[in-house]
Chain A
Amino acid sequence: GENVEQHPSTLSVQEGDSAVIKCTYSDSASNYFPWYKQELGKRPQLIIDIRSNVGEKKDQRIAVTLNKTAKHFSLHITETQPEDSAVYFCAAVTGYALNFGKGTSLLVTP
């Protein structure tokens, strides 16, 4: 199936700094790219997504960019806050199944 690689696996930033998480995918037919946030002990929840016909999407402090030619997409979080600390998963979708990256554990220190 689709292979999604996610980097880095852990990321530590100071409050107020920016954080960037990058993912690459292998299947050129993938056409939808969501990002999920999972806080400790909780279920993953969708925070932002992008479709293949769009290059960038922004929602307040978070943004996602997509480069279809290079098959990579990134999550950008600006002005990080302690409540942004969580595990973030990217995914690439072809048809019905989401294929997730292995996750990035983000720690925002005050």
Chain B
Amino acid sequence: DVKVTQSSRYLVKRTGEKVFLECVQDMDHENMFWYRQDPGLGLRLIYFSYDVKMKEKGDIPEGYSVSREKKERFSLILESASTNQTSMYLCASSPGGSPNEKLFFGSGTQLSVL
């Protein structure tokens, strides 16, 4: 069974802090993604990566950056956290290729920025 693990289930940070959200997958997947989920807005893509050290902006990249130094790990970085970044963050991975098929999601990190 594919396992996508997010480092924290709940996280509370203060405005202006630098925040790291970590995601690890154990199935040698090529593609990895970061989404944020807000009530009524669905799942919105922040960034994705289709290879090590490669990254592409999604629909809402402002205020975020990512890092993929190893194939299994994809990190989301909030350079200076703001209250409007309070949200559920979901990491996902998929085997690879195009079209991208069958995402496997992590269990999410609920981030609160105070």
Contacts and interface: CB of A to CB of B under 8 A. Distances in A.
A93 interface: yes
A25 interface: no
A98 B105 CA distance: 13
Main secondary structure of the interface of B (DSSP, over half): loop
Contacts of A89: 42-43
A31 B42 contact: no
A96 B42 contact: no
Contacts, number: 66
Interface size class of B (residues with CB under 8 A): 20 to 34
B107 interface: yes
Most chain B Cβ neighbours within 10 Å, of A31, A93, A96: A96
Contact of A44 (B44, B45, B90): B90
A3 B76 CA distance: 24
Given A1-B59, A102-B40, A97 B102 contact: no
Interface string B16-57: 000000000000000101010000111111001010000010
Contacts of B58: 1, 97
Contacts of B90: 43-44
A43 B108 contact: yes
A43 B3 CA distance: 12
A44 B99 contact: no
A51 B107 CA distance: 27
A96 B98 contact: yes
A1 B61 CA distance: 13
20 contacts: A1-B58, A1-B59, A32-B101, A34-B103, A43-B108, A44-B43, A44-B90, A44-B103, A45-B105, A46-B102, A89-B43, A93-B100, A95-B98, A96-B56, A96-B98, A97-B45, A97-B100, A98-B33, A99-B59, A102-B40
Given A44-B105, A100-B42, 20 more contacts: A1-B45, A9-B40, A34-B103, A42-B107, A43-B106, A44-B90, A89-B42, A93-B99, A94-B99, A95-B98, A95-B99, A95-B100, A96-B31, A96-B50, A96-B99, A97-B56, A97-B100, A100-B43, A101-B42, A102-B40
